[in-house]
Each structure stands twice: as structure tokens, then as C-alpha cells.
């Protein structure tokens, strides 16, 4: 990366590296045109820049994240090219931890916390699966790489806020299965994803839909609640990718409540998790919204404090509060306007002589005697 004084796009000053993935490097940067606000800047790796398929996939990630409007999906705010011609994009800077780090440090999570996280993931997924209009077609997005590393937890005034990251290998689908230049090229028979969390149909490189993401979320929810893999495997040692694949394809998952110290988990919650892990897509929850509703119902809204429904654009409960307060402020403003600027009846000499005479000084009745 060659940039003048570490500045990209004449706007973003590189502060330090935050990490890197398969395609790009992520940097902490400050926006020198906007009060040095901290942002995250993702830059395509130089060695990947000549690979046209990788560049198209990177471009797709930019387009997808910029088009999806959800508080539970990381937001893209800008994109461009460096002086050397390498593409980059700018995201909101998040301070927190990945779900992967949380599970490594804390092991299993309390059921209420796990479900709150899962419901927010559902909120983001619902927005992605519903998609957006692109070149006259309805386009829906399947993430295809849901895993704890791609779920980020941010502390907020209302508790943990979940952000879904990395749509780099997302599957773009439309009613005609094409979406112009938006679709990234996928080689026939090439598996894309993370074997540990991939659905059976994804492993078989078959057509996939939203229920593939439901399966991946089911694996994560199982691990959040039990601290264990659904098939009794472990990531330690020389575990081969093929072992994960065989389990997803043919081995039934261990019932959640049969795992050590999991008998306290409600049977209704276990049933939801196990339904997510069905081998057949038709037997899983049809939508992320349906899964979120089942989680709320099974565990009880009052115990979780989750009373607001999942909205199409992933509004969290506090947004409803802000909206209500805004409506109250508007109402008060209208009353004040009405009292101040609404027309009044003309005053009469008989009822308000001072008022009348100020407006009608030529009236003989207003002349001093």
C-alpha cells in the first residue's frame, strides 16, 4: 500500500492494523474531513488485486453491505480506490469482541444472553434475506459464512448490540437467479464457506437459500448454550475439514439437553435449536423472522425483556422508544404552534375596548373625551 503520508482517498489517515482476513486487511483510520472520527477501512490485499474473481467478490461485499440497512449489519459508509488502484471501503468502527472471543473466554452463555444474541442475528438476517431492488430485480442475500468470528458484540446503553460482519462470500439470488454485475463468479462444484458451520446443501454445493443461514445459526446457538459442538467433535488437534462435512451430511446432532450440564435448558428451546439443525432445508424454520418469533415465545418475552417485534429493518426496542418520544415532541410543538400562530377572533369594543382601539384608532368611540 503506497499512500501519501498514510492517507487514503485524501480523507482517511491510517492509524493501525486491526487484522486481516482471506481477501483484505482491516485498518483503524481517522476521517480527517469529519472531525477525525474513527472508522474501519478494509483494503483488498495487494496479492489478491490481480485476481479478477476476488476483485468482483470484494466489490460485491461493498455493494451488499451498502445496500442492506439494519442496525445488526455492519454499515458501509464510503468506498474508493487508493492511488495505486487498490479498492477499499469504509465501515463504522466497532469497539467490542467477536462472539468467537467471547465463547473462548467464557465458554457457554446463559440462555437469556444466548437468545438475545440469536434474535439480533435473526434481525440482520431477515433484512439480508428480504434483500433489495437492484437493476429492476428483487435481490436477496444469503450470508453463507455465518460463524462466531463474523458476529461482533458491541456494548451499548441497552446491553449487547450484535453486528453481522463479512458478506464477502455471500450468495446473491434473484427471481431469475441473476443480478447483473452484482453476482460474484462462483466456480461450479467449488465449496465456499466454513465447514464447521456450513449446511448440508452448502457442502454438497447445491442451490441454497435463507434456510442455509438458519442452519449455521443453529450450530452457533447450540454452541452458545452448551459450549460444545453438536456432533461431539473438537477443533483441537488435526481435525480435518472432511470430518465436519461428514457430520453435517449424515450424522444426527446430539440432543442439546443430553450434553453435560444442559438439563436446565427448557425442552421447548432444545426443540427450536434441533429444528434449525435438520438436514433437510424444508424441515427448518422457513425464515429468520419465524425463528426469532419461536425463540421469543418459547423462552418468554417477559423474562428476556424482549417485547418489541422484529421489524423488517431490524429496529431494536429502544428505537421504538425514541420514535414514541419523537411523536410526543412533535405533538407538543404542534400545540405550541397552534397557541402562538393560530388565528384569533377579532376583539370587539364592547368586550375588549383596549384591544379594539389599538387596531381601530380612528373609531370615534376610541377618541379621548
- Tell me what percent of the residues of the chain surpass a pLDDT of 90: 48
pLDDT at 342 > cutoff 70: no
CATH 3.90.1150.10 fits 96-315, yes or no: no
Q: Please check the confidence at residue 63 and state whether its pLDDT lies above 60.
A: yes
- Beta strand 76-81 pairing with 12-20: unpaired
Q: In what order do the strands lie in the sheet with 132-134?
A: 132-134, 137-142, 171-174
Q: Report, as an integer, the average pLDDT of 250-257.
A: 96
Contacts of 31 (CB under 8 A, 6+ apart): 11, 12, 37, 38, 39, 90
Q: Which residues pair with 40 in a beta bridge?
A: 28, 91
Which whole number is the average pLDDT over 234-252?
79
For CA atoms 92, 96, 97, 99, give the dihedral sign: negative
Residue 260 pairs with which residues in a beta bridge?
Answer: none
Question: Per residue in 8-57, pLDDT tens?
Answer: 989 999 999 998 776 788 999 999 999 899 999 999 887 777 788 888 88
Q: Do the Cβ atoms of 147 and 100 come closer than 8 Å?
A: yes
In this prediction, residue 65 has a pLDDT band, given cuts at 50, 70 and 90, of confident
Domain ranges of the chain: 4-92, 96-315, 321-366
Mean pLDDT of 171-191: 48
pLDDT value of residue 353: 57
Most confident segment among 60-74, 266-280, 320-334: 266-280
Which CATH code is given to the segment(s) 4-92? 3.30.200.20
Which of 185-199, 287-301, 349-363: highest mean pLDDT? 287-301
* pTM of the predicted model over 0.85: no
Is the pLDDT reported for residue 302 higher than 50?
no
Most confidently predicted of 218-227, 315-324, 331-340: 218-227
Q: Which of 164-173, 221-230, 308-317 has the lowest mean pLDDT?
A: 308-317
Condensed to tens digits (0 to 9), the pLDDT of residues 80-98 reads: 999 888 899 999 999 999 9
Which residues carry out catalysis?
145
Please state which of the ranges 60-64, 138-142, 286-290, 311-315 shows the lowest mean pLDDT. 311-315
Amino acid 341: pLDDT? 41
Q: What is the mean pLDDT of residues 294-322?
A: 50
What is the pLDDT at residue 129? 94
Give the per-residue pLDDT at 135: 74
Cell of 304: 428476556
Q: What is the pLDDT of residue 364?
A: 59
Sorting pLDDT into bands at 50, 70 and 90, what band is 299?
Answer: confident
Which segment of 100-114, 154-168, 314-328 scores lowest on mean pLDDT? 314-328
The C-alpha atoms of residue 116 and residue 262 are separated, in whole angstroms, by: 18
Amino acid at each position: 500500500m503506497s499512500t501519501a503520508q498514510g492517507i487514503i482517498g485524501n480523507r482517511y489517515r491510517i492509524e493501525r492494523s486491526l487484522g486481516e482476513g482471506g481477501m483484505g486487511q482491516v485498518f483503524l483510520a481517522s476521517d480527517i474531513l469529519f472531525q477525525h472520527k474513527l472508522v474501519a477501512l478494509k483494503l483488498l490485499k495487494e496479492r489478491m488485486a490481480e485476481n479478477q474473481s476476488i476483485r468482483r467478490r470484494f466489490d460485491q461485499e461493498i455493494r451488499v453491505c451498502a445496500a442492506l440497512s439494519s442496525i445488526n449489519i455492519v454499515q458501509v459508509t464510503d468506498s474508493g480506490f487508493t492511488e495505486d488502484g487498490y479498492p477499499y471501503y469504509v465501515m463504522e468502527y466497532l469497539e467490542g469482541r467477536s462472539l468467537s472471543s467471547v465463547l473462548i473466554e467464557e465458554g457457554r452463555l446463559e440462555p437469556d444472553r444466548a437468545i438475545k444474541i440469536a434474535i439480533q442475528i435473526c434481525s440482520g438476517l431477515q433484512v439480508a434475506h428480504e434483500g433489495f431492488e437492484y437493476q429492476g430485480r428483487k435481490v436477496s442475500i444469503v450470508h453463507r459464512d455465518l460463524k462466531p468470528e463474523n458476529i461482533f458484540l458491541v456494548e451499548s446503553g441497552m446491553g449487547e448490540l450484535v453486528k453481522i460482519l463479512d458478506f464477502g462470500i455471500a450468495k446473491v439470488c434473484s427471481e431469475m437467479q441473476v443480478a447483473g454485475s452484482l453476482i460474484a463468479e462462483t466456480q461450479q462444484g467449488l465449496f465456499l464457506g466454513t465447514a464447521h458451520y456450513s449446511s448440508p446443501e452448502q457442502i454438497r454445493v447445491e442451490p441454497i437459500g435463507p434456510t442455509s443461514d438458519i442452519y449455521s445459526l443453529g450450530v452457533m446457538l447450540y454452541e452458545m448454550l452448551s459450549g460444545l459442538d453438536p456432533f461431539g467433535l473438537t477443533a483441537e488437534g488435526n481435525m480435518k475439514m472432511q470430518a465436519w462435512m461428514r457430520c453435517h451430511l449424515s450424522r444426527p446432532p446430539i440432543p442439546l439437553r443430553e450434553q453435560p450440564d444442559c438439563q436446565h435448558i427448557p425442552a421447548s428451546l432444545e426443540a427450536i435449536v434441533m429444528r434449525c439443525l435438520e438436514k433437510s432445508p424444508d424441515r427448518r424454520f422457513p425464515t429468520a423472522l419465524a425463528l426469532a418469533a419461536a425463540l421469543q415465545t418459547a423462552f418468554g418475552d417477559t423474562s428476556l425483556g424482549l417485547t418489541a417485534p422484529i421489524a423488517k429493518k431490524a429496529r431494536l426496542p429502544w428505537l421504538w422508544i425514541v420514535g414514541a418520544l419523537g411523536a410526543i415532541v412533535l405533538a407538543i410543538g404542534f400545540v405550541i404552534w397552534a397557541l402562538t400562530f393560530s388565528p384569533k377572533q377579532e376583539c370587539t369594543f364592547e368586550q375588549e375596548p383596549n384591544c379594539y382601539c389599538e387596531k381601530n384608532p380612528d373609531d370615534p368611540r376610541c377618541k379621548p373625551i
